[in-house]
Each structure stands twice: as structure tokens, then as C-alpha cells.
Chains A and B, each alone.
Chain A
Amino acid sequence: MTPFRYFSKFPSIKRSLTKGVLVCTVAGGLGLYTACSGGSTEYVSETKLEPTQGLVTTVEEVRKDAFKIADETIVDKKEDSRIIAQYLDGEVDTFTLDQVKLMEKNGSPRMSGMSGILMGGAMGYLMGKSMSKPLNSSAYKNNAAFNKSTGSTQKMAQTAKKTTTRRPARAKSNFGSRSSTRSFGG
């Protein structure tokens, strides 16, 4: 028995199979867990999306050690991601993703109360949260910020690196293996 089969690719919706009558539907958006049933067999497969773009997230300290996301803007490269923290005392700090991870691990007063909020936002996808999990609206300062990040998340999903747990259909490999090792440049 094939342990995993997968009948659709994100974000397409429907595919009929030739063997028997079996139609599988995948929810749109970021719900990437799919289950199909055909006859007596249940197939489950998972597709993971890993962002290739980065984000600049601005968080505001709304009261002591409580932050909200005021803005999240996509940047081209993951390594250009930044977290800009605006504190009640008027100070502003800028962190890289690595710094945030390090401070999270070691515990830092500048980070207190911030990481949970970041994880609830689109920045969470860069910090290890699955892209199939939705944004948490309560992490945002207002609806405008939440709606902007919802749009950004869709864009990030379009450009994400895609991994599936199932061998692609009609997959072939081993091309070129008969030829000798020579340079094919010129």
C-alpha cells in the first residue's frame, strides 16, 4: 500500500483520477492538510511552505511589557528581515531575526512580552510557525494592520518554497547517468 498519496497541488482545487471515481478537494488559502477518501483507502499528505521572502515588523509597546503589531511589510530577502520595537519610553530598537531568536533563548528584558505577539503575526512564519496556521488578529494593533498582514501572508505563500511528503506523479530520474564525466561547458 502506498502510505501517502496526494491529489492536488496548492492552490488548485480538483483532480479526477482515472482509477475508479475519486475526486479530491483541497481547501484554498493556506489549509494545506488534505485528506481524500477513495473506496476503502484513506490517503493523507502534507505540503509545507517555507517563506523565501522576509518581513519588517513594527511592534508598539501599548502598555508595560505588552506589544501589538503596528505594521508588517514584505522585503525581498529573508535575511533583510527586521523587528522594529517602539517602547513606551520613546526608545526604538531594531532586531534581526537571529537576535530575536537569541534573546528569546536567553531571555532579555527588551524582548519581554514580544515574542508571543510576533509568533501570532506573519513574522511567526519566519520563526518556525507553519504557514497553514492563520494569523492571530489579537496580535495586531488594529484591523488595518491585520488586514495588511493577511494580504502579505498570501503573497508570501505564493513565493514560498514548497515541500511535499509524497513522490511527484509520474516522476522520472537518472537522466544523464550513462554519459562519461566530462565538462559540458564551453
Chain B
Amino acid sequence: MPDALFNDLGWGWFLGQEDEETWEYFVPELLAISKAEQETYSQAADTLYQMYIEATQHVLSKRLWEDLGIPRNMEEMIYQTWNDDRHIHLFSRFDFAGGLEGQPIKLIEFNADTATVLPEAAIIQRAQLKFNGISESLQFNQIYQNLVNQLTRLRVSNPDLYPTLLVTTMGHPEDEANGNVIGDAAKDAGFEVEYELLEDVIFSEEEGIFVEEDDGSYTQYNFWYKLVPWEFIAFEEPELMDILTKIVRNRQAVIVNPAYTLLFQSKAMMRYLWDLHPNHPLLLKTTAQKPSRFASTPYVEKVIFGREGENITIYNQSGKILDVTDGDFGRYPSIFQEFVELPKDSNGNYYQPGIYYVDGACGLGIRRCDSLIVDEDAEFVGHYIG
């Protein structure tokens, strides 16, 4: 696709123009996947989502959720949103290893609270097909339409609230681009939509969520989409956590994604999935204990609330470090997971498929990188079914 098209779409920053390097985030080729591979991915995501629901029920009924690293100040809101169907899980992404060329699919992690890479997966890879004269039906990509449908469900399920949605990020341009996709889908779903940085949003424990307008008046928003992780709010801004708990309790706003998605998001949940479904073909062995358990297999140490490939260490079978990343999340506890290598091409590039889940599996986004750990330097590879 020509650069001009990206600029027209307002996504010129994808091209890395600020750097002198001709860095290309979008790999200028498309990966072919088969219809059978698409269906296998789809079934894997649908199966895992049900397993997450069961495991969450297990964790909550046994009140094990503190083992997931979730602070006490989230307890009320997690129970409240879990027990009230009006708090709809909007969207998420399963990150897998395998699924290509006959390799088995294995769950690496579940981005349930703040999944991103949405503009790339939902919109740009579709535009790539269009630009190359390939039918848009030849892609596993109903992400945008499912978002519109799910947001419509959210609106209709909450008829007592004004359908006004505030989209909030903490200002990173990539996050804003992701928030814009949600905003566009929400408009198509019948919401009035506005955007505001977290620091400028006004929270009133008595009255709800507001934005101050230029004329000095205050507009109330009854739905809040936050590309701000729940664990950030709970740990870094506990006062905000308390205010939001009251706002949700009093039905002054519905927050997307709901608080219970932090249970899904916690990598420690994969340990319970393994406990409840030992040796399940979609799972990698995961424990909270130290690596001696893995005996002769390589394994990965991950922090439970890490993101973008940060704070990950890969060990070989004798416990020597194969690869390691540092990052901002080292303060969280770790889990240990059996290591599985990602599919690799002849140039040494690894491919990591992500399946978007919006009321069902609905799209594929593939990232590519030249290291064992997929991080923020990973590229995006579009695909077509062929």
C-alpha cells in the first residue's frame, strides 16, 4: 500500500516517518492461510473463552482471586460486574503459538482488558486486500462489524443510561488510534462519542463521569471506554478505583471492558486453566512455582501483568537464559510456562497469530519479529485466505 494512503487515513505515524530509517511496520506482503487453519483458530478461541469463564467462576466462588495478583480494592467491582450481564465484555485477543502448517495451537496469553493492534487488524489489513484487488471476503476479519454489534448490544442492554460514550487513553498515539476504532464503531452502534485524555476526565463519586466543555459546561458520559489497564487504576490510582466503584455501584456509568476482565487478563489465570484442564491440547503447562517442575523442557517466566513482551525470560531445559527482556512491570509476581517456539520462516522471522474475540472469534492479526519474544518492535503481517 502506498504511504499516501496511510497519511490519508490519519495513520502516517505507522510509517515511522520521524525516523530517518525506512522502517516499515507493515510487512509489504500477505501471508496465506487456509480455510481449515482459520476454522481451527476460531474453534480454539471459542473453546478457550468458555474455559476462561469456567475458570473465573471457579476462582471467584473459591475466592482464590487474590492469587491472581488482583488487589482488594477491585473486589467489589469485579463481583458486581461479573454478576450483572449488563456489563458486557466488548473485545479481547487471544495470542497463540502455532496453528500454521500443521503446528498445534497453544495459548500464550489472553489480552482481555486492553487488547490493541486494532487499526491494523480490523481496518488496515482489510484495506491491503482491497488495494491489491483481492476480495475482502478472503480474510478472517469481521472484527469491526462484531464491535458494532457488541456495542449495540451494550447500548440496548442498558436502556436506563444515556448512550454517550467517552473514549479515554493516556495519550500514546498508538493507543489513541486504537481508541478511535472503538469510537467509530460506537458511533455506528448509535452512541454519541467523545474523546478525552485520562488526566482531563472529571470523576464525581456522587454523579459520574464528565468532561468540561470549552464553554465551561459539563457533559456527562454514561459509558466509558478506557484504554487504561485496570491494574494501573487499582495499583497506581487507588482513589480513582474507589470513585469508579461507587460510580458503577450507583449505575452512573458502565465501564468497558468490565473490571472482571482483569481476571482473564492476569497471566496467573493460565495456571488455573491448566489445573482444571491438565494436558488440554490448547494449553501450555503453567505453574506458579519455580522451574524445577519443568525438568527437561525449556520454559518461560512471565510477570502476570506484563505487556508488549516486557519482563519476560526464556530458559532452556537446563535453566540457562535463552532470551530476556526488561521493562516496566517487574514489580508483579511471575508465572512459569512451558516454552513453545513460534512458527518461523526461512529468513529467521517468527510469526505470532492473535485471534480477536468479540462475542465470538472474529478475526486474525499476525505479528512478526526476529526474536523469540514478540515485543513492540514486531511488525504486522496482513493475511488472506487462499
A contacts, CB < 8 Å to B: 9, 48, 52-53, 76-77, 158-179, 181-186
Contacts and interface: CB of A to CB of B under 8 A. Distances in A.
B379 interface: no
A40 to B, nearest CB: 25
B240 A175 contact: yes
Interface in B119-147: none
Interface in B142-182: 159-160, 162-164, 169-172, 174-175, 178
Contact of B114 (A163, A177, A181, A185): A185
B23 interface: no
A140 B171 CA distance: 50
Contacts of B178: 185
B232 A177 contact: no
A16 to B, nearest CB: 13
Contacts of B376: 183
B236 interface: yes
A163 to B, nearest CB: 5
Contacts of B199: 173-177
Given A162-B162, A163-B217, A172-B202, 14 more contacts: A158-B159, A161-B164, A164-B217, A168-B202, A168-B206, A168-B207, A169-B206, A172-B204, A173-B202, A176-B199, A184-B228, A185-B175, A185-B178, A185-B308
A167 to B, nearest CB: 6
B171 A173 contact: no
A179 B227 CA distance: 14
B117 A185 contact: yes
A157 to B, nearest CB: 10
Contact of B169 (A162, A170, A178, A184): A184
A4 to B, nearest CB: 10
B229 interface: yes
A178 B117 CA distance: 25
Contact of B219 (A162, A169, A171): A162
7 contacts: A159-B159, A172-B243, A175-B201, A179-B170, A179-B232, A185-B116, A185-B308
Nearest to A178: B236
Interface of B: 111, 114-117, 159-160, 162-164, 169-172, 174-175, 178, 190-192, 198-208, 210, 212-213, 216-220, 227-229, 232-233, 236-237, 239-240, 243, 307-308, 328, 376
A184 B203 contact: no
A184 B200 contact: no
Contacts of B159: 158-159
A15 B219 CA distance: 21
Given A171-B202, A176-B198, A183 B116 contact: yes
B308 A186 contact: yes
B35 to A, nearest CB: 29
Contacts of A52: 162-164, 190-192
Nearest to B196: A173
A142 to B, nearest CB: 29
A183 B206 contact: no
B308 to A, nearest CB: 6
Contacts of A183: 116, 172, 174-175, 308, 376
A184 B227 contact: yes
A158 B213 CA distance: 21
Contacts of A76: 190
Nearest to A167: B218
A161 B219 contact: yes
Given A182-B172, A186-B116, A173 B201 contact: yes
Given A52-B162, A169-B204, A186 B220 contact: no
Contacts of B174: 183, 185
Contacts of B220: 161-164, 168
A175 B171 CA distance: 13
Q: Which 10 A-B pairs have the closest CB atoms?
A: A185-B116, A168-B204, A177-B199, A186-B307, A176-B198, A168-B207, A186-B111, A169-B206, A183-B172, A175-B240
Contacts of A166: 218
Contact of B206 (A161, A170, A173): A170
B219 A175 contact: no
Nearest to A48: B217
Contacts of B233: 175
B210 A168 contact: yes
Nearest to B190: A76
